[in-house]
Structure 1
């Protein structure tokens, strides 16, 4: 089956680039993050793309796109946000299969504070807690399905608020429930440099991970340019690649945002809209996609299908 899919990929999807998007690679399954891959799953993902695709760096992908000719079955691996497990769990697996990768780092979360969304999820992740105070009311948590539904509602309530209001809303949840922060899960500046020294490309993901569209042009530019400067100082390497937070074109970013990212000096930028990229596409709006299937042949089939139809 894999061989047939590989042949179809070569014959029918030439000169296309797939970019896989990941966030965390967990040591073990987390019921509040069922969409995040474990080390076991990520290992067979990388084994599969190493055997049936051509993994390339994002820097090389940009060059090939500009030249008008990509390698057969070209694919890039990317990670958003800057989680510590990108270094401790994902990087050894990437090295095992000799796969290049890019990690986009939101720099405000390198000093011990977790991403706001992870702080919300962790409120619901303690199986010993049977209820939480949410917006002034005691809410029964129930099973993991109910906890995920409740957490999702809070994420949506807070996501599009201005940064200060969003963070204040998260802090209020902690204060109302008298709960301590969990162990930080993001890389610090030294660990970002360590990952860069392993050969992983470091990209920008803003400072505070805001929805850029809701900010003024001046605030947007500060977020994207300051992030770049910080990462270059930490790593001693040029930072050429960017990922838009949340990343849906039109909803989370605009043409003005794209121009500001270009002005800041980034050479490529990725969205979260599903698809592939071809020569002639805007390098500052590259699409991404990662199949979610739990079996290798379905994962392979969906990835090939995305290259044929999108």
Structure 2
């Protein structure tokens, strides 16, 4: 037994003292993408799965959550999750998970299936397909008055910086205003977004048939804290009912879009999710979960390091983190 695995077991023994590590991913690219260096490609993801399989006991959420509730988790318990519903989850991640014999749960933003795209991906693809040396921002609604009228985009470094700037500026706009701004940027710069970034309904069904868990992630991926209660409830319930109709089975788990407590979702939204009939819900706060914790604010974390020892050490630090942030009542 290697040193890291021993340390994981010491921090997370079996039973009532166990801690559940829940990892979060979004995409697994077939090849590295210079514009998105933080997203793992197939080779790196397979390497990560090998590390995780060596260190942790990986459980599907359908097994991990009941065992969390009754205090029977094994030592070094962990679960793997994905957010949003990208097509590469089906095309790239699924074969690798099957090759390693590992389960995962995929949280789907149902309104983007079958040809849709997330607003942030529309920005990334606008920058990727840009043919000019600068991104025009003149008359783009929603941007602050101090925003530049154009962003340089001659080099890879400048294009990454442009993406970061635009995502930061648009992230917390009202959903309608954000979509209007994204459309204006694409129109000003004559760029296009591919129609195959997200899964099809058939691919979601194939994931479930392959033994993967499917959870809800709202319909259109809004920041729930920015919505009125009725709109938030509609987003939560619409995604649940769509998936249950598609799969012909209950959908028990929900992930908050963006997922930062109090900033992206509130205690009100956690209550909406509970009232909708979900069993548990997941944030993106650091930390791990112990028996007795709030089932509707379960933290998730994935180390970003590329070296085995550094990745494992950061996962260990997170496992020892005992006070994950939660939305306040």
Identify the residue that residue 316 of structure 2 maps to in structure 1: 304
Which residue is 2:56 aligned to?
53
Alpha carbons 1:69, 1:279 under 8 Å: kept:
no
* 1:212 counterpart = 2:224: yes
Match of 2:303 in 1: 291
Q: 1:241 aligns with which of 250, 253, 278?
A: 253
**1:172, distance to aligned residue in structure 2 (A):** 0.5
What corresponds to 1:11 in structure 2?
Answer: 10
Query: 141, 160, 173: which one pairs with 2:185?
Result: 173
C-alpha separation in 2, matches of 1:162 and 1:139: 23
Measure how far apart 1:177 and its partner are.
1.2
Alignment partner of 2:24 out of 21, 24, 30: 21
1:124 match: secondary structure: helix
Query: What stretches of structure 1 of length at least 5 have no aligned partner?
Result: none
Q: Partner of 1:26: helix, strand, or coil?
A: coil
> 1:13 & 1:135 partners in 2: Cα distance?
54
Of the three residues 154, 165, 187, the one matched with 2:199 is 187
Q: Secondary structure at the match of 2:21?
A: strand
Query: What corresponds to 2:142 in structure 1?
Result: none
Aligned pairs for 1:10-159 (under 5 A) are 10-14=9-13, 15-126=18-129, 128-136=131-139, 137-159=149-171
Deviation per CA, 1:132-182: give whole Å up to 9, x if none: 212343432132222122111211221112211111110001111122222
Q: Using structure 2 for the length normalisation, give the TM-score.
A: 0.91
* Equivalent position SS for 2:243: helix
Contact 1:132 1:138 in 2 (8 A): yes
Distance of aligned partners of 1:64 and 1:135 in 2 relative to their CA distance in 1, 3 Å threshold: farther
Structure-2 change in CA distance of 1:264 and 1:48 (3 Å): same
2:208: which partner in 1?
Answer: 196
Q: Which residue of 1 aligns with 2:291?
A: 279
In the TM superposition, what is the alpha-carbon distance from 1:127 to its structure 2 partner?
7.2
Structure 1 counterpart of 2:327: none
Distance 2:260 2:179 in 1: 22
The Cα shift of 1:111 comes to 2.8
Report deviation, 1:87: 0.6
CA distance in 2, matches of 1:183, 1:223: 23
Which residue, out of 169, 174, 193, partners 1:162? 174
Question: Is this contact kept in 2: 1:5–1:300, CA < 8 A?
Answer: yes
Report the alpha carbon displacement of residue 112 of structure 1 after superposing the two structures with TM: 1.0
CA RMSD in angstroms comes to 1.4
Deviations 1:1-37 (A, max 9, x none): x801111111233200000000000011111111111
Match of 2:242 among 211, 230, 236: 230
Normalised by the size of structure 1, how large is the TM-score?
A: 0.96
Alpha-carbon distance in 2 for matches of 1:34, 1:135: 29
The total of aligned residue pairs comes to: 309
SS in 1 for 2:232: helix
Secondary structure of the corresponding residue to residue 305 of structure 1: helix
Q: Which runs of 4+ in 1 moved over 3 A?
A: 126-129
Unaligned runs of 5+ in 2: 140-148, 323-329
The more displaced of 141-150 and 214-223 is 141-150
Cα displacement (A) at 1:126: 3.5
Contact 1:27–1:39 under 8 Å retained in 2? yes
